[in-house]
Amino acid sequence: MSHDPNCIFCKIVAGQIPSRKAYEDDDVLAFHDINPWAPVHLLIIPKRHIASMADVTQADGPLLGKMAALGPRLMKELGVTGGFRHVINTGPDGGQEVYHLHLHVMGGPRPWLKG
């Protein structure tokens, strides 16, 4: 499994940095974002280091599908019923800050929005 010793998410996968885990299996890890943009804000990451979506290959399709399908399941388990967002930032112009592929899944009521 590919690992970047300088990557914060690789360190989280390795257990060197603690996280509030929501899900883990052999391929992916989901954990709560430490700077949430919504009441429920998870990051779903592959355990294998992939720097960004720009580095994804066709062989990564099953992994990406697994990540995308995990989001709705976790939102339901965490009580999010009114909808949620999936976001993947890619590269500097796409707003990517950590260069380890990660899927943001954000949901829950947002009291700052007017109904």
Residue type, 57: T
What is residue 11's DSSP assignment?
A: H
DSSP notation for 41-95: EEEEEESS----GGG--GGGHHHHHHHHHHHHHHHHHTT--S-EEEE---TGGGT
Active site (annotated) includes residue 102: yes
Q: Which of 41, 49, 100, 102 is catalytic?
A: 102
Catalytic sites, residue numbers: 102
